[in-house]
Amino acid sequence: MASKTPRGILRALIAPALALGATVSLASAPAHAAVWNSCDQWGNTTLGGYTLYNNIWGSGAGSQCVWANSGTNWGVWADHPNTGGIKSYPNAKKVINKPVSSLSSLTSSYRVTVPSAGAYNTSYDIWDTDYDYEIMLWVNYNGAVGPLGTAQGTVNLGGHTWNVYKGDNGANEVFSFLRTSDSTSGTVNILPVLKWIKDTKGWMGDETIGDVQFGYEITSSAGGLDFRTDSLTVSGG
């Protein structure tokens, strides 16, 4: 089972030891007619209201480069060794900054191209502004990866059927929703998921939702694999 800890800027703040353990050799970015690319461990930029992160955070990591034509059309080339433990979470982030009770809608559509090899998940990573709660929505996954915590049953929410897991990584609570069948495109109605956690289960209060991230949590991609976000939208308020 892969352990879960916060990502993005929070990663740099509360888990520097993980970064210090990483061995990151910077490779050349693949040939794309991109407006931005980076092979830096913490490389990031903002395009069209989305912030992109290369975000190589796990120990024993290899090489990884991110490229972007826009905040909603981007991809990653990663060559991480076939060892356990999450190496990176390259992602695009949209900031919401509204309490769950104030949201009238929160939806996202995605279309991705992912490899048949390697160990990874394609996932949303949703945070409250205090980083006390992490809500992960796995839309596909491959190889030796698994969620943190214990199984809580199966639920149909937001247009998908999910296997639900609840856990704690020592820094925050983690609620993981794993789609019962893999998908490379679709639309997720995120708000019913948040309301189910808050109102139906009582696992969190009326938290202010900050970051909605979408990306690839990569454990291994030996030899170099491509992950491509062909399109992405996050909207709501």
pLDDT beyond 50 at 113: yes
User: What pLDDT was estimated at residue 157?
Assistant: 98
> How far is the C-alpha of 98 from the C-alpha of 102, rounded, in Å?
6
> How far is the C-alpha of 136 from the C-alpha of 150, rounded, in Å?
14
What are the domain boundaries of the chain? 9-236
Dmax (CA) of the chain:
48
139's tokens: 């839309």
pLDDT in tens, 150-193: 999 999 999 999 999 999 999 999 999 999 999 999 999 999 99
User: What pLDDT was estimated at residue 151?
Assistant: 98
Tell me if 77 sits within 8 A of 29, measured CB to CB.
yes
User: What pLDDT was estimated at residue 27?
Assistant: 44
pLDDT in tens, 189-218: 999 999 999 999 999 999 999 999 999 999
pLDDT in tens, 20-78: 333 333 444 444 469 999 999 999 999 999 999 999 999 999 999 999 999 999 999 99
pLDDT beyond 60 at 116: yes
Angle at 125 between CA 13 and CA 131, to 5 degrees: 40
Main-chain dihedrals φ then ψ at residue 101, nearest 5 degrees: -65, -20
CATH number of 9-236: 2.60.120.180
Confidence bin at 105 (pLDDT 50/70/90): very high
pTM here? 0.88
pLDDT beyond 70 at 19: no
Other CB atoms within 10 Å distance of the CB of residue 176: 24
User: What pLDDT was estimated at residue 2?
Assistant: 39
User: What pLDDT was estimated at residue 20?
Assistant: 32
User: What pLDDT was estimated at residue 31?
Assistant: 45
Confidence bin at 237 (pLDDT 50/70/90): confident
